[in-house]
């Protein structure tokens, strides 16, 4: 091989007289170029170079001529913006071809000239649906209640704080929506049973259940009492079981249902002094997956939302401490606390028909925290 290379290497840099000894060099194919034949490929730039290892290639049998293939131009071809004008993928690489005129479907995938694009998120249509939201008196629960009400849903507000629930109810009414207040401890089995009876009598069947109630006690594990440990697990995990057991039957047989459970980035990662909270949220994530499989054939989806650092009452201890707040923000790639309205928008999407194929998973919304 070395002697063969040394023998023919000088000729490698000279163009042979016979074009049949050329090779067509590509990343994925190597074949002889035919004399006087135009070779067309859609995406790969080609270069004809001589073959140094086969100097007698001109004496070999030449492959039969192959007619250039006509490129297939699909209406679903990606679109490129080239020098301020719009053109299709095929037109870019085959300027001699005449691609078909843009279709309505094509226009969906490109911006029209001189048209300002809106960044607003369209509201889902939840008219005629009733959504029950636990922990709805503040924070993320309140944000989801406002978002779903704006989309047309009737809201059942559930919490232990009647006065704060009434304030949320008033705000929803001021925006043209309707909400009823139900005071209950969703970690208590008897109260959940009574809640189901009251909601059914007042609003009828529930199509959307959002398990949002949750607490956090920040301590080292060895400092927890059993009552403290159980209070976190009962509120964050057992309440999901109790509420789902009573309200999922409302959705069965209707072809539609949505169960959303608030998990957390602490179900994926953790921090010191989060043992009870992380344990409870990781367990909720497991419950989501199992329940989703049980209900998948009935048009009922079960999903989680895993918020990262949001500016809610639960995080006031960090937000109000300048040193801790600075350290915390330094770990958020987005560099800021999340807005509760983003959680409301995501919940609205998951309740819409557009999310009917999303089930058994959870969606991280954390400003890039878990991507580090």
* Catalytic-residue membership of 277: yes
Structure tokens given for 221 = 């594990």
Question: Which residue shows structure tokens 């944000």?
Answer: 143
Distance CA(204)–CA(197), nearest Å, equals 10
The single residue of 22, 241, 277, 369 carrying the catalytic annotation is 277
The Cα-based distances of 259 to 99, 160, 289 in angstroms read 47, 21, 12
Burial (0-12, 13-18, 19+ Cβ within 10 Å), 118 = exposed
Active site residues: 277
């Amino acid at each position: 091989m070395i002697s063969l290379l040394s023998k023919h290497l000088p000729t490698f840099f000279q163009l042979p007289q016979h074009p049949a000894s050329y090779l067509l060099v590509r990343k994925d194919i190597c074949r002889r170029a035919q004399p006087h034949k135009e070779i067309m490929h859609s995406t790969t730039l080609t270069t004809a170079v001589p073959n140094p290892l086969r100097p007698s290639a001109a004496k070999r049998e030449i492959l039969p001529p192959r007619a250039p293939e006509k490129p297939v131009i699909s209406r679903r071809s990606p679109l490129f913006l080239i020098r301020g004008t719009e053109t299709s993928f095929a037109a870019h690489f085959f300027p001699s071809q005449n691609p078909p005129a843009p279709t309505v479907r094509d226009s969906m995938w490109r911006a029209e000239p001189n048209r300002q694009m809106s960044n607003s998120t369209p509201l889902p249509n939840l008219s005629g649906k009733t959504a029950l939201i636990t922990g709805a008196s503040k924070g993320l629960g309140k944000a989801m209640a406002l978002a779903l009400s704006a989309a047309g849903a009737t809201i059942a507000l559930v919490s232990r704080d009647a006065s704060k629930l009434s304030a949320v109810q008033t705000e929803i009414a001021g925006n043209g929506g309707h909400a009823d207040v139900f005071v209950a401890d969703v970690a208590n089995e008897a109260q959940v049973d009574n809640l189901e009876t009251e909601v059914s009598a007042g609003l009828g069947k529930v199509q959307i259940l959002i398990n949002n109630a949750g607490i956090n006690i920040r301590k080292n594990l060895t400092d927890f009492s059993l009552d403290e440990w159980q209070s976190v697990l009962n509120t964050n995990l057992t309440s999901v079981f109790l509420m789902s057991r009573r309200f999922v039957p409302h959705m069965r047989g209707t072809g539609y249902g949505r169960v959303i459970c608030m998990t957390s980035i602490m179900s994926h990662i953790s921090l010191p002094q989060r043992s009870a909270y992380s344990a409870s949220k990781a367990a909720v994530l497991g419950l989501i997956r199992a329940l989703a499989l049980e209900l998948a054939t009935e048009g009922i989806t079960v999903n989680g939302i895993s918020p990262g650092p949001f500016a809610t009452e639960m995080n006031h201890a960090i937000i109000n401490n300048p040193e801790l707040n600075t350290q915390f923000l330094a770990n958020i790639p987005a560099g800021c606390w999340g807005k509760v309205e983003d959680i409301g928008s995501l919940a609205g999407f998951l309740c819409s028909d557009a999310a009917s194929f999303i089930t058994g998973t959870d969606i991280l919304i954390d400003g890039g925290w878990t991507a580090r």
